[in-house]
Structure 1
């Protein structure tokens, strides 16, 4: 069974956006979110980093309502993905993005998930534009064919089934943020504000608790080195972490690649290892700690492994180095596009070394929080894969959704 088909332009109205003059301060810094391709890294948009004023809106952009699907139709992102996001509030947008507003009888979330299910096929319709960028011709997008049930309730049921995955993912993301924030707060309370357990009875000398000392990172590590030059092989069992894997203080294995070169045991990543991006502008200095087991995995030559001597105090070590990310990002040497952060320079940076018993106590308290956050992150990756596998069948009518109640019809 499948649903009848409709062209996309039978389902939505297409609107174009624009960019107010960036040379006019009165157009910027308002309270109207302004969407560009760079903002569209999330499925659901409720805010943006750039905002415009009412004057900016009137002078060069357009406001669309909540429930609008934004689609990137120009830019290099089209080489890899068809980027779409669903507006959670009224928003303005720029000229590289089209706004798709559902027509009568069409559910907003259904359109978003239908486009998500067809994202790869739509991406492949993109053509070359000027200066090597990509563009999606409007006639191709407007005439793209979707499976659309005639009754809006069926659309809503299918969309709700898909959205259940995103609800779980969002819940996990909130839990991750809370756990990571708690770990950071405890670190600052103990090791920055010096209100650690028993601090009242510890003498202070030159504003430093007795027994504390600063030592180079190299003296607190058992291994400090770059990774390997991998031999990429999609059929191999070994994986290699690259710079794209390290972002926002976390490690994602999604961009990691498989490789077949033999790896020495000391270059296989371990729980507690701190990984630091060490080449190139933009990503240089990013820090993340390995918190869950990763089998048969190393890093490439653009990433440095920093392994603490004591596993039972690795949470302190990881938080201390994460706090240094702004420092590491400014330590690169060389030409702008060839910046390098050497292992010797990393090793010479000094961090506080509190008494070992305090580091262990911190690890016992914070370690489980960070491990749970990492496990939730892994769970989200599994949910995303499951959702993406389900969507093509769900949004084409191949799966019968008639027996699924809408959320508002579920018993309390």
Structure 2
């Protein structure tokens, strides 16, 4: 091996840099060519490398704020609302004040630093303070100590973990391509080539659906006993929900390959059930009436209605919601079943490949997450 690990403060291995926000009332500070991130940009970000957020700032906005240009390879760490989102800058980038970004020195590998922080997110949160929301200060972050191996071993460790993440990223990209292909087929068959003679009806004319209902609180557990429980959007991953909570007294059920739609906070997140599961009041489950095997059509038909479904985010006082009555009254065109069957023949292999990839992604994530603490503690060593 390449030597003993040394305890180092983060401030000694990287420069800690904050961010800033230009005056939002000054239009000339915005819509420029400088990428600018907020923690929100990482809220649904699955990768490691990020190039931009929802908004850009101008050179004048940069000059008139405390935002700073971060070099390519900087490790971006959200330090409030919430603490612990992580990414690596794919190019020069700026952030708002919700970040404490780390620019590694010459003896620190940026990928190793990324994985080190990823392995210690809960610790970082524990070192944060605040009443309205917790925040990790720059001075605190600089003072936190961790064990670091030599630079060659850092790179070797990062290479092992990165190879797994590379495979995960590849499968995510492949899934996006496959979903885009299936969506294109749906649009061609059921939008562009739609027949004016198709029957007009309502959503329940084509689909059975179940509105979720939360079981008694005493039936929840984390031990894997009972049925997986999905309350709403917060439990949704990519295509298959994350199995976080189980219940021994399920009330409303969804079945394998049902299309799941969040019905509150927010309305319109979409997913697919992997197994028979309990759905709480934040979820509804849809399946094609005439043939449960037509789950690809169901998934993309609901996606095609998403603009109408998401309008209900504007309803209500605190947050939007969509009710059973709203779904019952939602108008749709009903294509002939033989056309739907032909679509399934062409699109189902694409959809099934997405499902297969999702299963493989989960296996790779488990492998990575098992290795991460062992590699970061030195319990498992690799040659540098």
TM-score by length of 2: 0.90
Cα distance, 1:262–1:49 mapped onto 2, change above 3 Å: closer
The change in CA–CA distance for 1:333 and 1:365 in structure 2 (over 3 A counts) is: same
> Which of residues 224, 228, 237 is equivalent to 1:239?
228
Aligned equivalent of 1:330 = 311
User: Which of 1 and 2 has greater Rg?
Assistant: 1
Tell me how far apart the structure 1 counterparts of residues 215 and 314 of structure 2 sit (CA, whole Å). Answer: 21
CA distance in 2, matches of 1:347, 1:18: 47
Mapped partners of 1:237, 1:111: distance in 2: 39
Aligned to 2:283: 303
* Aligned twin of 1:219: 205
Q: CA deviation at 1:401?
A: 1.0
Q: Distance in 2 between matches of 1:248 and 1:324?
A: 21
Residues 272 and 352 (structure 1), Cα distance of their counterparts in 2 relative to 1, 3 Å cut: farther
Q: Deviations over 1:126-151 (max 9, x none)?
A: 1224xx1101133332121222123x
User: Cα RMSD over matched residues?
Assistant: 2.3
For residues 101 and 397 of structure 1, the distance between their equivalents in structure 2, rounded to whole angstroms, comes to 24
Partner Cα distance (2:63, 2:314) in 1: 45
Indicate the residue corresponding to 2:138 in structure 1.
138
Q: Residue 4 and residue 133 in structure 1: after superposition, are their counterparts in 2 closer, same or farther (change >3 A)? A: same
2:169 — aligned with what? 170
TM-score by length of 1: 0.84
Q: Secondary structure at the match of 1:285?
A: strand
Structure 2 counterpart SS, 1:177: helix
Aligned to 2:168, the other structure's residue is in SS state helix
Aligned twin of 1:55: 60
CA deviations 1:142-164 (Å, max 9, x no partner) are: 121222123x2222111111111
Contact 1:40 1:84 survives alignment (8 Å): yes
CA 2–351 in structure 1, closer or farther in 2 if over 3 Å, else same? farther
Matched, 1:67 2:69: no
Q: 1:271 aligns with which of 236, 246, 256?
A: 256
Deviations 1:310-332 (A, max 9, x none): 22433223211111111012246
The secondary structure found in structure 2 opposite 1:175 is helix
Give the superposition deviation at 1:188: 0.7
Q: Which runs of 4+ in 1 moved over 4 A?
A: 245-249
Structure 2 residues without counterparts, runs of 5 or longer:
none
Aligned residues: 374
Counterpart mapping for 1:172-187 below 5 A: 172-187=171-186
Whole-angstrom CA distance in 2 between matches of 1:315 and 1:121: 42
Instruction: Identify unmatched segments of 5+ residues in structure 1.
Output: 196-206, 405-412
User: Which residue in the other structure is 1:160 paired with?
Assistant: 159
Once the 2 structures are TM-superposed, how far is the Cα of residue 268 of structure 1 from its aligned partner?
Answer: 2.5
